[in-house]
Amino acid sequence: MAKFFERNGGLLGTYLLVMVGFWVIVLIILPQLSMLDFSFRYNLPPAQVGTDADVWNISNYHFLLFGAEGNPESYNVVDMSVFLKTLVAALFVTLFDLALCYPLAYYLAQSVSGGFGRVLVLLLIIPYWVNEILRAFAFRIIFGSSGIINATLIGTGIIDEPIDFIRADVALYAGLGYAYILLMIFPIYNAIESLDRNQIEAARDMGAPWWRIHWRVVIPFAKPGITSGCTMVFMLTAGALAAPQILGGPSSLWFTQIIYQWFNTGGNWPRGSAYAVVLLLTCIVFVLAMMRLFKIKMGEIGK
Amino acid sequence: MSAGVGVELDNVWIRFGNFIAVREANVNIAGGEFFSFLGPSGCGKTTILRAVSGFLEPSDGNVRIGGRDMAGIGPNQRPTALIFQNLALFPLMKVWENIAFSMEVRGVASAERRKRAEELLELIALPGQGDKMVSELSGGQRQRVAIARALCAQPDVLLLDEPLSALDLKLRQHMRTELRSIQKQVGITFIYITHDQGEALTMSDNVAVMRAGVIDQIADGQTIYDDPSTSFVASFVGENNMFRGTVKKLTKDAAVVATDAGELDARIASSVKGELKSGDDAMVFIRPEAFGVAEAGARGKGRIKAMVENEEFEGQSYHVFLNGPGDTHIKMSLVNTGRTSGSAVGDNLTIAYDTKQAVVLPAGELASE
């Protein structure tokens, strides 16, 4: 500790410590703890908060699992199925992004050089200068019944009636897939960029076809980047709100939308908190399980 | 292992845009030969290697391996294996997986691959180390694993791109001997790229000396050293004292050249015999070790009077730096026989050389220091 101050000086050292402490405690630990605390409380009118009625209980979690009292089903069918659907859809979006971004990242990292590569990277980034909600609306317009896709399809005579991409959830998955693409590309790009080109040539020299070069040399090397990208995309997609709100079809519901309803229209913060805690923990467990499956250590992701 | 297969470069040109990397290369490498391309960095030797391995196609001319034209055949289809300058071992595979990668590509069963890898580990004197990761090995061991990996592909021709340059001096010298003995054991053609003339001379049957895309001379090591074909080869391979002047007298094999250091007698290099004319701009090259101290006042051919400027002691020899007539700088190397060099800074000496060990060449480009 004394060394730390010696190296950075008293003023800067204190500043660094205070900011790191602020980040960890105020921005990470306290909000999560208060959410956790909320999730174990009844939704009481303000007058009763802090009275004898305000005790810790698991009624909110019970509600997510089994629904309201008198529910004819044996568990909360609506919320649980939305929950599962959200996780599966997030997984699907993650895999889709991976399939899309790996070749892109490989091309950027190994095949293009200099100016053209920088232009491509810029083209990737520029759309993200636009607000997330505006981007979602742009997708809604593109996929709308008179949008450019339907117009093109009708114009070329492939279809007669416009396809309802919104109702079919095509717009939703496209929007979600696009929303976090950068978080997939850049970790993979960084990993592949540090791969020695000679290793690819060595594998080729020994007779390996392109797919084996990727399977045995490039992908193992890029694994930390792939994991990092998949983790972020999965977490953020499962927790996305804007895209499902704007692009979701009338029958589709994202779990975050249910959480949002509990907090906002439902006015039941404790229940919303419980739902949010369940989503967060499930995502963490899921990601850890995946990492275990693919034999990746936590430290590699932080790289 | 397959017996030696020859490699021919037939009038090979390689251009990158306007830049000519290799100019009219004609090389004939016999099967089972240890052949080196020697030259300073940027002379095109690695480019030639890439053309042989198939990573690039010559702009003109043909590469033939075992008599077969290689045009349009990719690196994964050629009977060559390349050892990269930085080795390019796969860091995420175990040592044995690295070695047996080419068999994995061919779909050989794991047990058989493992067995073959163990045999090769035996050959490179690393028995039982197959389960280690590459990062656990030392530089010299990695070097040997790279060789084993290349040999496992059972190539007809092994291509080596300065593979020893990253090793320290002792290890490099050791690996030279080892490479040579591995080559003798497996009996395949080795093509070796280096800028280190010591490596080229000690290991090779034949050496091609390259300068700016051009092959100046192809010969065995001793010929390259004793009978260089151009001024570049004379100055690049080993150390040489160069005296510039004009040809004054000519006989069939020898010439007298008028230089700043006086008139010097020397043998005409074989490559320019019959071409050199009286009055030509010429260079006389005399190796430092060709000089010796003559008795004071001795007369005759091959004598230069000079003053000792500096002396260096390098273990096996003394290097004496002299200032000769016309302010020429001369380096003389004397073998350390246990006595002192017998001269001191400021002494005036008469030094002598055997005129057969001095070579006359037409004036030309020199290797930059």
B38 and B99 within one domain = yes
Nearest to A86 by CA among A230, A236, A232: A236
Tell me how many domains chain B contains: 2
Which 8-state DSSP code applies to residue B2?
P
Which 8-state DSSP code applies to residue A76?
-
B220 and B176 within one domain = yes
CATH of range A79-301; options 1.20.1600.10, 2.60.40.10, 1.10.3720.10, 1.10.10.10: 1.10.3720.10
Give the CATH number, domain containing residue B156: 3.40.50.300
Q: How far apart are CA B84 and CA B49, in angstroms?
A: 11
Q: How confident is the model at residue A279 (pLDDT cuts 50, 70, 90)?
A: very high
Q: Torsion over CA of B358, B360, B361 and B366, rounded to 10 degrees?
A: 40
Q: How confident is the model at residue B57 (pLDDT cuts 50, 70, 90)?
A: very high
Candidates A204, A217, A221; nearest CB to B76: A204
B256 and B198 within one domain = no
Q: Torsion over CA of A76, A79, A81 and A86, rounded to 10 degrees?
A: -160
Average pLDDT taken over every residue of chain B: 89
Q: How confident is the model at residue B1 (pLDDT cuts 50, 70, 90)?
A: very low
B269 and B134 within one domain = no
Partners of A221 on chain B (C-beta within 8 Å) are: 91-92
The answer to whether residue B3 scores a pLDDT higher than 90 is no
B207 and B275 within one domain = no
* CA B358 to chain CA centroid, nearest Å: 21
CA distance A149 to chain B (A): 42
B157 and B249 within one domain = no
Which 8-state DSSP code applies to residue B350?
E
- Whether residue B231 lies inside any domain: the answer is no
Decide: helix, strand or coil at residue B205. Answer: coil
Q: How confident is the model at residue A51 (pLDDT cuts 50, 70, 90)?
A: confident
B169 and B246 within one domain = no
Amino acid B2: pLDDT: 45
Beta-sheet pairing, B214-219 with B206-211? antiparallel
- Whether residue B234 lies inside any domain: the answer is no
Q: How confident is the model at residue B365 (pLDDT cuts 50, 70, 90)?
A: confident
B325 and B348 within one domain = yes
Amino acid B340: pLDDT: 65
B149 and B52 within one domain = yes
- Whether residue B2 lies inside any domain: the answer is no
Q: Which tens digit of pLDDT belongs to each residue from B88-118?
A: 999 999 999 999 999 999 999 999 999 999 9
CA distance B22 to chain A (A): 22
Amino acid B210: pLDDT: 94
Q: Which two tokens stand for residue A49?
A: 């908060």
Q: Which two tokens stand for residue B141?
A: 């061991």
Q: How far apart are CA A148 and CA A163, in angstroms?
A: 12
Amino acid A57: pLDDT: 87
Q: Are B127 and B103 in contact (CB under 8 A)?
A: no
Nearest to B197 by CA among B45, B37, B50: B37
- Whether residue B232 lies inside any domain: the answer is no
Q: Which two tokens stand for residue B9?
A: 């470069």
Q: Which tens digit of pLDDT belongs to each residue from B251-286?
A: 888 899 999 888 899 999 998 888 888 888 999 999
Mean pLDDT of A236-250: 88
Amino acid A147: pLDDT: 87
Q: Which domain holds residue B103?
A: 7-226
CA distance B86 to chain A (A): 8
Give the CATH number, domain containing residue B268: 2.40.50.140
Mean pLDDT of B140-166: 89
Q: How far apart are CA B329 and CA B306, in angstroms?
A: 9
Q: Which tens digit of pLDDT belongs to each residue from B170-194?
A: 888 888 888 888 888 888 999 999 9
B138 and B257 within one domain = no
Contact A208 B153 (CB under 8 A): no
- Whether residue B367 lies inside any domain: the answer is no
The answer to whether residue B164 scores a pLDDT higher than 50 is yes
B168 and B50 within one domain = yes
Amino acid B298: pLDDT: 65
Backbone φ and ψ for B12, nearest 5 degrees, come out as -85, 130
- Whether residue B79 lies inside any domain: the answer is yes
CA distance B25 to chain A (A): 23
Per-residue CA distances from A146 to A22, A163, A166 (Å): 50, 10, 12
The answer to whether residue A113 scores a pLDDT higher than 80 is no
* CA B94 to chain CA centroid, nearest Å: 34
Average pLDDT taken over every residue of chain A: 88
Partners of A217 on chain B (C-beta within 8 Å) are: 90
- Whether residue B48 lies inside any domain: the answer is yes
- Whether residue B161 lies inside any domain: the answer is yes
Residues of A with CB under 8 A from a CB of B: 196, 198-199, 201-209, 212, 216-217, 220-221
Q: How confident is the model at residue B297 (pLDDT cuts 50, 70, 90)?
A: low
Say yes or no: B1 contacts chain A, CB-CB below 8 A: no
Q: How confident is the model at residue A293 (pLDDT cuts 50, 70, 90)?
A: confident
Partners of A205 on chain B (C-beta within 8 Å) are: 53-55, 75-76, 80-82
Say yes or no: B105 contacts chain A, CB-CB below 8 A: yes
The answer to whether residue B207 scores a pLDDT higher than 80 is yes
